[in-house]
Structure 1
Amino acid sequence: MKKSLLIIFTLSLQFLAVSVFAQQIRGTVVDSLTKESLPGAAVSLKGTSLSVSTSTDGSFSIKKQDGSNVLVISYVGYQKKEVVVPAGTTDLGQVILVSNTNTMNEVMIIANARAIDRKTPVAVSTINAERIEEKGAQQEFPELLKSTPGVYATKGTGGGFGDARINMRGFQSANIAVLINGIPVNDMEDGRVFWSNWSGLTDVTSSIQSQRGLGASKVAVPSLGGTINIQTRTTDAKKGGFIYQGLGNNGYSKTTFSYSTGLTDKGWAFSAMGSRNVGEGYVNGLAYEAYSYFFNISKVINANHSLSLTGFGAPQYHGSRFERFNLAYYENAPQGNRFNPNYGILNGKEKTISGNYYHKPQVSLNHNWIIDETSTLSTALYGSIGKGGNEFPNNAGLFLETRTGNKYTPVDIDALVDLNTASPDGSAKAYLQSYRNDHKWGGLLSTYKKKLNDKIDLLAGLDLRQYKGEHYNSVRNLLGAEYVLEIANGNPTTSRGAGDINNPVKMAKTGDKIGFNYDGLVGWQGAFVQAEYSYDKLSAFVSLSGNNQSYQRVDHYKYLNSDPNRKSATVNNLGYQAKGGANYNIDANHNVFANVGYLEKAPIFEAVFAGYQNKKNPDAVTEKILSYELGYGYRSRKFSGNLNLYRTSWKDRSTINPYYDQATQQFYTANLSGVDALHQGVEVDFKYMPVHGLTINGMLSVGDWKWDSNVPKAVITDVNGTALAGGSIGPLYTKGIRVGDQPQTTLALGASFDVTEDLRIGADYNYFSRFYSSFVPTAITSENLVPWQLPNYSLVDVNAVFKFKFAGVRSSMFANVNNLLDAEYISDSNAQFNNGISDVNNSNVYYGVGRTWTVGLKVNF
């Protein structure tokens, strides 16, 4: 009897479960253009109070009720949509929402730089706003991409705020294009990106898209490794805002406020955001204080014209490190891997001797013009004025030897103040200086799009930029002295100069220029044209862009003001980029693509004027890059995956390295030319949703990146352009050496699970191996020298978000723990070749950051 009752009870439960399941309506909400999922979209059953939100993969499940068969789906920045559910239907598949163009949520310039799934033939990964919000605590833009194929991201330079670095497919940031709303932001002289300048944008970013390889951007940008396209929110369609407060380890505190008016009846909209972020830093002496702001003012003039004015900036100051040590040094330090030799005590308080301060606001004005039914014109006028630099000691040896105790104690800055105070003539024996890198930058980017017919679109545009970089050293802190005495043509204050010939005996005060002072003038005139074909299952494109990049150097120190040679001749470098590709959708599940590209680009400014001279370096020639890629994709409701094969050949790379001569005990500049490299590999990534609310994702990336040539010679010059005795060193036996600075094998596995409609938990596992130290090529003067291979390591991050209503107000609580297991690992290493050997004992390293945690509360209004 009991057994029979148990069977009946079990069958009843199963019947009930089946009944409930059958009454559920399921689907996935996606963007009409990109087909990306839209997490957080509101799904309600018309005529009832029943409503749910889509999960992180855009999926939803809502209980059907008798007499109601219409779903109302809405999402910020998109047109509301009503969907009639046919009788007996439980699975709607993809529900497509169309962007509301009246809110200017996506301007043409943004769209032209973005890749579209199963259409644009490039390898791409996208991080949406919800993932940024849930996992962005104490992480910077590059770190949010660390679980994507081909990417390596760390805190960089010892873990300082804003010092994060990113490598893609073995290429450093100077060869990774970074676009914000389609506008290039790589430094005009050397291509580098300083992430502290954009640290506040995580709060207003709607998506980050990484395109590996040459990418989909039409403009000629340094995308050897890939392109990172950051898209900010322009104007939210819904009125309201939020307040956020986060707390974490080592004094981390972040406060953010955001507000949007929504689109008014008169076509105006305004959004603004501001934040403050402070902390002590994970490593000793890396305290920081950072602010950020963002605003957007938009106006819908009429059905054909709209304007959008956007501005943002992130003023900050943070401590950093300039010294690395070998493992034994850290192992003997009481502080362990948190040890930092580059800070001290001044007046009883911590004071860094290695810091960074910068503010780089950028403003852009976008105009959208729908000319007619077949053509549009989108134009952005933008400008940026940056001011700031690095803080560091004038005599590092003196600072590092003056300690409050042994070598593992802080620098005794008070003792250095006493030393300056005792100076008979008031001149500084020890002081802090600052290498400034101020700039003025303006540009115009305009794109015209014409639909020739139902199959072919034509795009053409202009890319104009003008840049002036002001580089000089200045007195930052006299530390009790009255002035810094500088005598021109004496011992160089830095490797870049030997004083001001126009003021040969200078008594410099705080803020005065010392050491060197020169301007870098860069001009860019570019044009591009692209044809796009799309019909049925095939989409293809052919793109051609050309540019002239001009360099000019103005030296205010090495030449008299009356000397016409103080301003160099203008050096013009013609470059072009040709690329094309095609994607074919075999069926609803399978697609294949291929792309190929060739580009010639100018060497960096420092290579053209090697040794900080005003004369052109004859060995700096145009660099040549050939890249091609094959890809396969699979898409289904539960599983999607990608397979990519790539090969990039880089010829005639111009490289400038510092060179220390043991005989003279002086630093020189080593000018290398004819350097080749080969980057090839395979990447696999997938996303699997076995049941509603559970998403599993992963990737495997295996690279084969090598230097592909020996260097016949490296020309060595001093700060005055004078060649070292002998003139050069070489040959350098670099052919076949593994490219360092990024693990060549990476693996990631992550999961996100909706425990309830309001609670989501997630975890990410990352593994890194085949990681080789970076090295200075001038050290490879004999065969069989191999840089040290770092130990493999893995990291685990976990997070949770809980959404609730408090007094009717939508709120969210976030929790993050990065490096949950507190793994000890080396994130950066420079190979040294003492006695012809590079190993664990003589390689200088930075340890990665240990366990960190953050909790936060966000209240919407």
Structure 2
Amino acid sequence: MRKYLQKFSVLVFSMLLTVGAFAQSTIKGKVVDAVTKEPLIGATVGVKGTTNGVAVALDGSFKLNANTGVTLVVTYVGYNTKELTATSTNLGEITLDPSSGTMKEVVVSANLNSVAIDRKTPIAVTTVSATFIEEKLGNQEFPEMLKSAPGVMVTKQGGGYGDSRLSIRGFKQANVAVIINGMPINDMENGAVFWSNWSALSDVTSSLQAQRGLGASKVAVPSLGGTVNIVTRTTDAKRGGSVAQSVGTDGYLKTMIALSTGLDEKGWAFTALGTKTQGNGNAGGLNFVGYNYFFNASKVLTDRQTLALTLIGAQQRHGQRSTKSSIETYRLAPQGIKYNPDWGYRDGQVVNVRDNFYTKPILSLNHDWKINDGASLSTVLYASKGTGGGGSSNFSYGSIPRTGDSYSPFDIDAVQDANVANPDGSAINYLRAARNDHEWYGAISTLKKKLTPEIDLLAGVDLRYYIGRHFTEVTDLLGARYLIDNRTGTGAGDINNPIKNARVGDKIIYNNDSNVAWQGGFLQAEYSKNDLSAFISVAGSNTSYKRIDHFNYLDTDPLQTTPNKNYFGYQAKGGANYNLDANHNVFANVGYLTRAPFFNVAFVNNTNVPNPVAKNEKLLSYELGYGFRSAIFSANVNLYRTDYKDRSSAPRQATQNGQTYYANITGINELHQGVEVDFKLRPVKEITLSGFLSIGDWTYTNSVGPVTVFDETNQPVPGQTAVYYNLKGLKVGDQAQTTGGLNLDVSVAEDLKIGGNWNYYANYYSDFSYTSASTTSPNGAPLNTWKMPAYHLFDLNAVFKFKFAGLNSELIGNMNNVFNTNYVSDALDAANSGKAVNSVVFYGIGRTITTTLKVKF
């Protein structure tokens, strides 16, 4: 018996040795986006040549039973496939490069200076991938890709192509810094962003981030409400391309083609993309056509230096609905919520009385230089030349004939007949355009130096120069031979030629130039060791304004050109993030900044008179945040409070008769505070559920005045001189203060994915009217504005992948506003009564359907 036991023991021991010899190790790691460091939920990691593989968890982590030394293949839709050798059981962070058509890209790190990194950068951030944009966009506007981020709201205003506006935490778009590849693109005079000028971004963006609050920007850009950071693709390193065709509601058509030469043996690569987008729009007179283009040439100079030249732009023209109407008007109009009073017919063709036409290409040259293992230099030089403007008329809407009842389009034929019949041949009514041509040059350079293994020091300069040319141009005399422009007084026309017979192309009403120079510098120290990361940053900038007025001052008058008016601003901010363990992290940040007032506030009433009360705006912001990451669930909670002091504003408001009034207001104070929650759940690899809730409390905290309201010829509006605005306690009305949403994506099969979005908006207050909100008493009754009805919106999308003639192809379907919900998206309480009956509004867009076929080769 003992002999048999010995033999059995030897056999068992031999089997254990054999099992041990073939036992596999557990290899672990984390798969993240190379640009944003966000986990790539849904990526797969497998052993090459086998069926052994796993999907990554919500936090990007994975565990794979395999021996070291094997070759792993990491894949994710919309990203480059990566192969690597498992040299250890812990591979740490594995990065994948985003691409279009799964083509590898040459990435220029100069573009990434302002990208926030999950669980490291101590700010609240939401990141949108190129894949998300491709699947969800449909015929939506590009900024609508951020509508499911907490604290962010996007509306299409009147519904014109590219006329969307974006707000973050109750701050208007002009107070949100928008950065493309490290370059600020907000207008240097007023902070405006016109998305129609950047519609090409939807096809070339590799990463889109909404950074709420102070933001991660390292350039000297004051971010009040937040920062939208956009990183475009650079150039594809593999030969190939794609074509796509979209068709949709209201005659929507979009054709796209992208080509890449690939990276050759000499280190050159070229990529080009072009699109044409056209349609009728969601209401009468909103027809549009746009041509978007993107070109990149990259050169790998050495293993330490890369140079990239990028051109991006859009040439477009689109009709607009600029005039809000009362709810009763929409109810009575045969067109319903699609009613638009701002267009007409001539010779059976649409005439856009209000429209926008513009082209603004931007050319940038990025140089990335890794000087040595401890230092790098990233530099971008850029230039932009914009030309175009917004069309309007001298129409008094109540007196211009229409083709039918009062809700029908303008009868431009009748207007033209009246002009022709005028005895002296001059125009009674005509079309004009407010032009805003400009040139913009800039340079941003950042030096990064590793002082110790834990501390990096970044220093840089931000230089910009802007020349703006503003004038009103006659665009159509509507059958007349000339226009008599003999008005006198400030803002009435050309003082150097007071009796003028103007023809098409001539300048009328106003003609002035603006020069804006910006010199900025910044210094930032970053600390990172183990689970703690922190930063402290200081920046300063000088903004110089100069105004040249060609109409209101004689050419011989030295006052025609102002001296430079300088405003020095600065900012200081800091924050820290601590990863408590693999699942939990906390962060905090605080910042204080001062910013120059906008150009139109620096000078009184659009003249060369300096505004004596214009001063820097000030902002103090602080925030606390908590994050949780696990294999199937992640969540973030943010608390914020922002004091905004001495805000200046020069609001322009269109009246019901088509006229425009504006005011010059300084000293407005606001308080923005709230809580934001977002989460993502992935119970199985085929299902992802995400959601958010944002609750804000944004109010004005003081009253302002005295202020004078002017018409578009700079004349004081009767009864609107030396007036006050009792704003204290009034709710900020640019954005719904309570928002929430859910997003569900389900992989039904390997080649079929469906998704749905639900968004909720509540506690949304209308803007107040500057022309009717005034009082002659600084202590009058407080203002009140209408609280708009809460509403829900649902969207659906589906993606089907297949082979077409052996090529990777996909069919994408999008349905937005599935239930065709009628909702008020923008409102102005014309009487500041708190009542709907006294408000003028824009309704949101109804149901739209878009189908896209994309073939990659």
Q: Compute the TM-score of the two structures, normalised by the length of structure 1.
A: 0.90
Matches within 5 A, 1:544-693: 544-657=538-651, 669-693=662-686
User: Where do 5+ consecutive residues of structure 2 fail to align?
Assistant: 1-23
Where 1:109 maps in the other structure, the secondary structure is helix
User: What residue is the counterpart of 1:738 in the other structure?
Assistant: 731
Cα distance between partner residues in 2 of 1:401 and 1:246: 39
Where 2:683 maps in the other structure, the secondary structure is coil
User: What residue is the counterpart of 1:11 in the other structure?
Assistant: none
Q: How far apart are 1:440 and its partner, in Å?
A: 0.3
- Report whether the alignment pairs 1:323 with 2:323: yes
Q: How far apart are 1:438 and its partner, in Å?
A: 0.6
User: What residue is the counterpart of 2:251 in the other structure?
Assistant: 251
User: What residue is the counterpart of 1:47 in the other structure?
Assistant: 49
User: What residue is the counterpart of 1:792 in the other structure?
Assistant: 790
User: What residue is the counterpart of 2:740 in the other structure?
Assistant: 747
User: What residue is the counterpart of 1:146 in the other structure?
Assistant: 147
Cα distance between partner residues in 2 of 1:581 and 1:190: 29
Identify the range of structure 1 (479-488 vs 178-187) with the bigger mean alpha-carbon deviation: 479-488
- Report whether the alignment pairs 1:36 with 2:30: no
User: What residue is the counterpart of 1:19 in the other structure?
Assistant: none
- Report whether the alignment pairs 1:219 with 2:219: yes
Cα distance between partner residues in 2 of 1:251 and 1:98: 38
Q: How far apart are 1:73 and its partner, in Å?
A: 2.6
Where 1:134 maps in the other structure, the secondary structure is helix
Residue identity in the other structure for 1:790: M
User: What residue is the counterpart of 1:362 in the other structure?
Assistant: 362
User: What residue is the counterpart of 1:713 in the other structure?
Assistant: 706
Residue identity in the other structure for 2:127: T
Cα distance between partner residues in 2 of 1:202 and 1:227: 18
Q: How far apart are 1:613 and its partner, in Å?
A: 1.0
Q: How far apart are 1:118 and its partner, in Å?
A: 0.5
- Pairwise CA RMSD of aligned residues? 3.1
Identify the range of structure 1 (388-397 vs 58-67) with the bigger mean alpha-carbon deviation: 58-67
Cα distance between partner residues in 2 of 1:73 and 1:238: 18
Deviation per residue, 1:323-354 (Å, 9 max, x gap): 11111111011111011111111111222211
Residue identity in the other structure for 2:604: A
Deviation per residue, 1:103-157 (Å, 9 max, x gap): 774333322101001100000000000000001111122211011000110112x
- Report whether the alignment pairs 1:415 with 2:414: yes
Using a 3 Å threshold, how does the CA distance of structure 1 residues 616 and 286 change in structure 2: closer, same or farther? same
User: What residue is the counterpart of 2:11 in the other structure?
Assistant: none
Cα distance between partner residues in 1 of 2:585 and 2:52: 36
- Report whether the alignment pairs 1:810 with 2:808: yes
Contact 2:31 2:96 in 1 (8 A): no
- Report whether the alignment pairs 1:125 with 2:123: no
User: What residue is the counterpart of 1:6 in the other structure?
Assistant: none
Where 1:785 maps in the other structure, the secondary structure is coil
Aligned length: 824
Contact 1:142 1:164 in 2 (8 A): yes
Contact 1:488 1:501 in 2 (8 A): no
Using a 3 Å threshold, how does the CA distance of structure 1 residues 724 and 255 change in structure 2: closer, same or farther? closer
User: What residue is the counterpart of 1:7 in the other structure?
Assistant: none
Cα distance between partner residues in 1 of 2:594 and 2:236: 41
Q: 1:846 aligns with which of 842, 845, 848?
A: 842
Where 1:301 maps in the other structure, the secondary structure is strand
Using a 3 Å threshold, how does the CA distance of structure 1 residues 658 and 317 change in structure 2: closer, same or farther? closer
Where 1:559 maps in the other structure, the secondary structure is coil
Identify the range of structure 1 (501-510 vs 203-212) with the bigger mean alpha-carbon deviation: 501-510
Cα distance between partner residues in 2 of 1:756 and 1:661: 54
Where 2:650 maps in the other structure, the secondary structure is strand
Deviation per residue, 1:364-385 (Å, 9 max, x gap): 0011111111001111100000
Matches within 5 A, 1:812-827: 812-827=810-825
Deviation per residue, 1:703-725 (Å, 9 max, x gap): 00000111142245677878788
Q: How far apart are 1:806 and its partner, in Å?
A: 1.7
Contact 1:77 1:236 in 2 (8 A): no
Contact 2:174 2:190 in 1 (8 A): yes
Contact 1:305 1:368 in 2 (8 A): yes
Cα distance between partner residues in 1 of 2:249 and 2:654: 40
Using a 3 Å threshold, how does the CA distance of structure 1 residues 280 and 717 change in structure 2: closer, same or farther? closer
Using a 3 Å threshold, how does the CA distance of structure 1 residues 768 and 483 change in structure 2: closer, same or farther? same
Cα distance between partner residues in 1 of 2:345 and 2:365: 46
Cα distance between partner residues in 1 of 2:439 and 2:758: 42
- Report whether the alignment pairs 1:202 with 2:202: yes
Residue identity in the other structure for 2:48: K
Using a 3 Å threshold, how does the CA distance of structure 1 residues 609 and 600 change in structure 2: closer, same or farther? same
Using a 3 Å threshold, how does the CA distance of structure 1 residues 705 and 58 change in structure 2: closer, same or farther? closer
Cα distance between partner residues in 1 of 2:307 and 2:81: 20
Q: How far apart are 1:285 and its partner, in Å?
A: 1.5
Deviation per residue, 1:187-213 (Å, 9 max, x gap): 000001000000011111101011000
Cα distance between partner residues in 1 of 2:380 and 2:655: 49
User: What residue is the counterpart of 1:696 in the other structure?
Assistant: 689
Contact 2:222 2:571 in 1 (8 A): no
Cα distance between partner residues in 1 of 2:668 and 2:614: 11
Cα distance between partner residues in 1 of 2:540 and 2:265: 44
Matches within 5 A, 1:51-450: 70-73=71-74, 80-84=82-86, 96-97=94-95, 105-156=106-157, 158-397=158-397, 401-450=400-449
Matches within 5 A, 1:529-544: 529-544=523-538
User: What residue is the counterpart of 1:493 in the other structure?
Assistant: none
Using a 3 Å threshold, how does the CA distance of structure 1 residues 804 and 724 change in structure 2: closer, same or farther? closer
Using a 3 Å threshold, how does the CA distance of structure 1 residues 721 and 175 change in structure 2: closer, same or farther? same
Cα distance between partner residues in 1 of 2:505 and 2:335: 35
Deviation per residue, 1:362-421 (Å, 9 max, x gap): 0000111111110011111000000001111122426x6311110111111111111111
Contact 2:152 2:166 in 1 (8 A): yes
Contact 1:657 1:670 in 2 (8 A): yes
User: What residue is the counterpart of 2:3 in the other structure?
Assistant: none
Cα distance between partner residues in 1 of 2:620 and 2:646: 12
Residue identity in the other structure for 1:474: E
Contact 2:106 2:298 in 1 (8 A): no
Contact 2:30 2:62 in 1 (8 A): no
Identify the range of structure 1 (272-281 vs 560-569) with the bigger mean alpha-carbon deviation: 560-569
Contact 2:587 2:624 in 1 (8 A): yes
Contact 2:166 2:172 in 1 (8 A): yes
Cα distance between partner residues in 2 of 1:163 and 1:667: 18
Residue identity in the other structure for 1:526: G
Contact 1:798 1:818 in 2 (8 A): yes
Cα distance between partner residues in 1 of 2:675 and 2:177: 21
Q: How far apart are 1:675 and its partner, in Å?
A: 1.2
Contact 1:71 1:85 in 2 (8 A): no
Residue identity in the other structure for 2:848: T
Contact 1:610 1:669 in 2 (8 A): no
Where 2:197 maps in the other structure, the secondary structure is helix
Using a 3 Å threshold, how does the CA distance of structure 1 residues 381 and 436 change in structure 2: closer, same or farther? same
Cα distance between partner residues in 2 of 1:806 and 1:725: 68
Using a 3 Å threshold, how does the CA distance of structure 1 residues 375 and 628 change in structure 2: closer, same or farther? same
Cα distance between partner residues in 2 of 1:528 and 1:475: 45
Residue identity in the other structure for 2:649: T
Cα distance between partner residues in 1 of 2:287 and 2:660: 31
Contact 2:569 2:596 in 1 (8 A): yes
Q: How far apart are 1:488 and its partner, in Å?
A: 4.0
Using a 3 Å threshold, how does the CA distance of structure 1 residues 165 and 98 change in structure 2: closer, same or farther? closer
Using a 3 Å threshold, how does the CA distance of structure 1 residues 112 and 67 change in structure 2: closer, same or farther? closer
Contact 1:487 1:499 in 2 (8 A): yes
Cα distance between partner residues in 1 of 2:435 and 2:241: 37
Using a 3 Å threshold, how does the CA distance of structure 1 residues 359 and 727 change in structure 2: closer, same or farther? closer
Deviation per residue, 1:288-325 (Å, 9 max, x gap): 00110000000011112211000011000101012111
Residue identity in the other structure for 1:747: G
